Amino acid sequence: MSEQDEATRLAETVLKQGELKLSSQLTIALAADVRATAFAGVFIALAAAAIGAGATILSISGAHWALISAAFVAAGFLLWSGFLCISVSKPVEFYVVGNQPDNWWNDNVDKKPLAECFRTEAANYQARITKNNAILAKNAEKIERALRLGWASPLIAAVVWVLVQGFLWRS
């Protein structure tokens, strides 16, 4: 096997590995979108329940302002968490496997060695992989923040209840 043939095989292997990575990133991104929308639904449903509880308590004569405040604060944090999750699943420019054949012919690719063409396309894939990684990392950070806010909302509501109850007790 000549050096040219080996270089072509190596470049083709690298290109295929880039295609596999891009394909895997797409699978990860789709799973993250599903997870984000599921969490969004849970957080928004919990927020609706907290708003309903606050509104019910408000409708009772001699309302308990500490409980009402806690319910609405919890709802606010849960809504914030839900909207963070929704922002993760909004459409973004995400790169997938493959290329546009028209782009190959613009570079006089038919006059270049095959290994060089594969190397150029592998470099394009690497740029796409890097951009996808940045999107995935940013979205993972948002989901993490949403989860922290969502799980902290009962604690924050409890603190609000204690503070408002203490303020009302002193009044």
Q: Answer whether 0.85 is exceeded by the pTM.
A: no
Is residue 48 assigned to a domain?
Answer: yes
Model pLDDT, residue 96: 87
Beta strands in 48-149 (DSSP E): none
Is residue 91 assigned to a domain?
Answer: yes
Inter-residue contact 155 to 90 (CB < 8 Å):
no
What residue ranges of the chain have pLDDT lower than 50? none
Model pLDDT, residue 4: 77
Model pLDDT, residue 169: 72
Model pLDDT, residue 107: 67
Is residue 146 assigned to a domain?
Answer: yes
Is residue 35 assigned to a domain?
Answer: yes
Model pLDDT, residue 115: 84
Domain count across the chain? 1
Is residue 171 assigned to a domain?
Answer: no
Model pLDDT, residue 36: 95
What range defines the domain where residue 123 resides?
A: 3-166
Beta strands in 16-122 (DSSP E): none
The sign of the torsion formed by the CA atoms of 27, 31, 32, 37 equals positive
